[in-house]
């Protein structure tokens, strides 16, 4: 089964900047997929379009068979997004932020509370559930965004540079956590500019440069050629 299928995707920003020039890409269900590329390559734009936050100019997106244009809500429901920038309300508590997201997806209150506890526990945030989010360290904020992205149990988790600016110890524990949820069946796509991160986590990768996919292969054969 295909988790994500992108066909001839283009994006031109308002000022005329072309960020994506006809990108096509396919990610299998269950994959741990890395999207690599230098700054400005188009990674965030591509992820933004897939997670329905940025409008595309042309092309087709399907997520588990759902067409983004025909059924954006099905696409939204299938995806959990961990953006690069902290985008929660920093005056709300950790638990509230996760519960709000559950509310957005229409998850009943009791189930939402159970799931919030489960994901906050597994990310080491349960003791901080009543803390106002703005008081958390950068690493804990990043983990809060992961818990928030998982509360509706999406089939596809997308993370934009999840370990940028995260210290080595926390990076390792985040890697372990992501491997664990991938083993449990969640498809994962992450962007990174660390080849080491892609090498350690991903089976398949695409390299994007100046809005074009320049490589789409498995990590092993790429490393053999380098």
Q: By the criterion CB under 6 A, which residues form the site for ligand ADP?
A: 13, 15, 17, 19, 37, 39-45, 51-53, 76, 79-81, 87, 101, 104, 149
Least distance (Å) between residue 45 CB and ligand ADP: 3
128: nearest Cα among 113, 144, 112: 144
Q: Which of 21, 113 has the CB closer to ligand ADP?
A: 21
Residue closer to ligand ADP, measured from CB, 54 or 170: 54
Those residues with Cβ within 8 angstroms of residue 41's Cβ, 6 or more apart along the chain or in another chain: 208, 209, 210, 211
Question: Coil, strand, or helix at residue 73?
Answer: helix
Local structure of 24: helix, strand or coil: strand
Q: At closest approach, how far in Å is the CB of 30 from ligand ADP?
A: 19
- In whole angstroms, the minimum distance from the beta carbon of 38 to ligand ADP comes to 7
In terms of CB distance, is 44 or 163 closer to ligand ADP?
44
Neighbours of 87 (CB within 10 A): 11
Contact 106, 73 (CB under 8 A): no
Q: Please identify, using beta-carbon distances, which residue of 89 and 220 lies nearer to ligand ADP.
A: 89
66 DSSP 8-state letter: E
Measured from the CB of residue 226, what is the shortest distance to ligand ADP in angstroms? 20
For the bound state, the minimum distance from the C-beta of residue 169 to ligand ADP, rounded and expressed in Å, comes to 26
Looking at the Cβ atoms of 40 and 165, the one nearer to ligand ADP is: 40
Q: Is 103 helix (H, G, I), strand (E, B) or coil?
A: helix
């Amino acid at each position: 089964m295909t988790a994500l299928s992108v066909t001839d995707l283009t994006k031109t920003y308002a000022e005329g900047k072309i960020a994506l020039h006809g990108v096509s890409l396919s990610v299998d269900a269950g994959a741990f997929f890395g999207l690599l590329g230098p700054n400005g390559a188009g990674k965030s734009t591509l992820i933004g379009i897939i997670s329905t936050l940025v409008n595309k100019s042309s092309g087709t997106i399907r997520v588990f068979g759902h067409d983004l244009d025909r059924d954006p809500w099905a696409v939204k429901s299938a995806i959990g997004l961990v953006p690069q920038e902290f985008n929660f309300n920093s005056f709300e508590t950790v638990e509230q932020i996760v519960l709000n997201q559950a509310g957005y997806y229409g998850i009943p209150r009791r189930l939402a509370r159970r799931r919030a506890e489960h994901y906050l526990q597994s990310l080491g945030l349960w003791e901080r559930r009543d803390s106002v989010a703005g008081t958390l360290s950068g690493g804990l904020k990043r983990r809060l965004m992961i818990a928030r992205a998982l509360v509706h149990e999406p089939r596809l988790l997308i993370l934009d540079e999840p370990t940028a600016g995260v210290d080595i110890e926390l990076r390792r524990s985040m890697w372990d956590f992501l491997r664990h949820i991938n083993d449990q069946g969640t498809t994962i796509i992450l962007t990174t500019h660390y080849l080491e991160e892609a090498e350690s986590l991903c089976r398949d990768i695409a390299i994007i440069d100046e809005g074009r996919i320049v490589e789409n292969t498995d990590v092993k054969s790429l490393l053999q050629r380098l």
